[in-house]
Amino acid sequence: MARNPRTPRWLEAARRRKEPVPEGSRADWLARALGRAGVMPRAEAEQAIREGRVEVDGRVEREPFAPVHAGTVVRVDGQPCALEAGTRVLLFHKPAGVVVAGSDPEGIGTVFERLRAVLSPELRGYEWYAVGRLDRDTTGLLLFTNEERMVAHATSPETHVPKRYVAEVEGEPSEEAVRKLREGLVLDDGPTRPAGARLLAPSRVELVLTEGRHHQVKRMLAAVGHPVRTLHREAVGEVSLDVPEGSYRFLTEAEVHEGLQFREIPSPSGRGSG
C-alpha cells in the first residue's frame, strides 16, 4: 500500500508498531532527532540504527523512523545521548561556484561540503539544513539551521522575511526601470510583490524582496532590460552578512528573535572561522 505523503513517517512507524502517540510534547523520529541534537548527521544516524548500534528505552532499535519524544532514553554505542536541543542558526558566506544541494553533478562541490570543512568537530554532528537557496554563481549570506521549523518560517510566502541583494547588471538602469521594480512586475509565473529598489552605482542595483521565487532577482532585472552579471545577497531580515567568504558565525538570540522573527530560543551562540 502506498504511504500517505501527509502522514509523518514517525507516526506511520508508531502505528505499525501499535505504540501510543504521545500527547502534550513534540514527537519526532529517531534519526532526525539525533541529527537535530548534534549526535550525528541524519544519514549517519540511519546507518547506525540499521546496524543495531542505537538503543531506545533499553532495547535495540533498527527503525530510523521510530518515534521519540521528551523522556525517551537513547544510547548510541552504549553511551547516553540527550535529544533536547535548542534551535541553532548560523550565517555562512557562500562563495561562487558551489551548489546548495546534497550533491553536485558537475563535481565542483556543494555548500554543505564547504560548511562542514570549517565547522568544529562537535558541530559536524548536526544535520544542517540550508534556509532557502542561492544559485551556483550567487554569493553572499546563506543561513543554516538544525531546526526544520526555522526553514519553514524563513521561507514561507506568508512570513515575508525580506532578503536584500546587490546585483551588477548589464547597461545602466534608468529611474523608470527602478520604478517598475519598486511597483512590481508581471513575470511568467505571475505578478511580483513590490520590491525595495535603488541604484547604488550606474550598473549596480540593490533589490529587497519579500518573496522567494526561482531566479526572481535575475528575472526581474532581465524584465526591465538589465540582465544580471553578478549577484550577492547581503541580508536576510535584519541579519546582515559580516564574515569573510567561506566563514560562518552563529546568530545571537536577538538576531533569531527580532532579526528573523522566529520565537524559539536558540542554543548559545559563537563564532567560527574558515
Residues carrying an active site annotation: 135
- The x, y and z cell numbers of residue 239, run together, are 541579519
Answer positive or negative: Cα dihedral of 151, 156, 161, 166.
positive
How far are the Cα atoms of 53, 55, 58, 76 from residue 80, in angstroms, in the given order? 12, 9, 11, 7
**44 Cβ neighbours under 8 A, 6+ residues apart:** none
- For 96-159, where are the alpha helices, taking DSSP H only? 111-118, 148-155
CA–CA gap between residue 237 and residue 162 (Å, rounded):
5
Decide the pairing of beta strands 129-130 and 204-209: unpaired
- Tell me how many degrees the CA angle 69-143-184 measures, rounded to the nearest 5: 120
Element (H, E) at 87: none
Read off the DSSP letter of residue 237.
T
- β pairing state of 228-236 and 139-145: parallel
* Dist. CA 184–CA 207, nearest whole Å: 12
